[in-house]
């Protein structure tokens, strides 16, 4: 099974391939986009999306986990550290964003053929294309 085409590509304003600048951060905040704190999470932003007329920051799930592991001083190769970081991101960021409204950040997981097969082909799955990569909206 192949990854489906991207129905949301027109909603992508631009990918972010370098660290978000203070000017870009201020512009997002001026547009009422909500960002995760602390600012160190900005390193996980992979793009800015527009949904329902609102600009939203899109974060890389794995990069958020790496930032949390590093902040905690754990080894990035430790399975326990990844489990703890993944639990934090899933509960506090992905789940928390559901209660933040239309301007909430979106957390994305990079897709490849293996992860798509694990995910299945549910109709309500959102697949986005940013910087030539496919992402699953969590």
DSSP E strands, the chain: 12-15, 45-51, 54-60, 106-111, 127-130, 133-137
With respect to residue 61, please indicate whether it lies within any of the assigned structural domains. yes
Q: What is the pLDDT along the chain (138 residues), one digit of tens a residue?
A: 444 444 344 455 556 666 777 888 888 888 888 889 888 998 998 888 877 778 888 899 999 999 999 988 888 788 899 999 999 999 999 998 888 888 889 898 887 665 554 444 545 556 565 655 666 777
Q: Report yes or no on 1 lying in a domain.
A: no
State how far the Cα of 129 lies from the Cα of 119, in Å rounded to an integer: 17
Angle at 129 between CA 124 and CA 130, to 5 degrees: 135
Q: Which two tokens stand for residue 109?
A: 């997981």
* pLDDT score, position 10: 43
Q: Is there a domain that residue 21 lies in?
A: yes
* pLDDT computed for residue 114 by the predictor: 58
2 belongs to a structural domain: no
Residue 4 lies in a domain: no
Q: Does 17 map to a domain?
A: yes
Report which of 97, 129, 91 is spatially closest to residue 110, judged by C-alpha positions. Answer: 129
Please check whether residue 3 lies inside any domain of the structure: no
Give how many domains the chain has, as a whole number: 1
Measure the CA–CA gap between 55 and 102, rounded to whole angstroms: 9
Flag whether 49 is in a domain. yes
Which pLDDT score is estimated for 9? 46
Range of the domain at 50: 9-137
């Amino acid at each position: 099974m192949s990854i489906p085409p991207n129905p949301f590509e027109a909603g992508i304003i631009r990918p972010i391939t370098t660290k978000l600048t203070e000017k870009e951060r201020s512009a997002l905040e001026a547009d009422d986009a909500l960002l995760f704190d602390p600012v160190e999470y900005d390193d996980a932003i992979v793009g800015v999306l527009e949904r329902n007329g609102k600009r939203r920051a899109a974060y890389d799930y794995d990069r958020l986990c790496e930032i949390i592991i590093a902040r905690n001083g754990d080894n990035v190769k430790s399975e326990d550290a990844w489990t703890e970081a993944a639990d934090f991101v899933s509960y506090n960021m992905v789940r928390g964003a559901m209660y933040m409204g239309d301007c909430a950040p979106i957390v994305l997981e990079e897709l490849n053929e293996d992860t798509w097969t694990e995910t299945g082909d549910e109709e309500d799955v959102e697949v986005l294309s940013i910087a030539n990569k496919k992402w699953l909206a969590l």
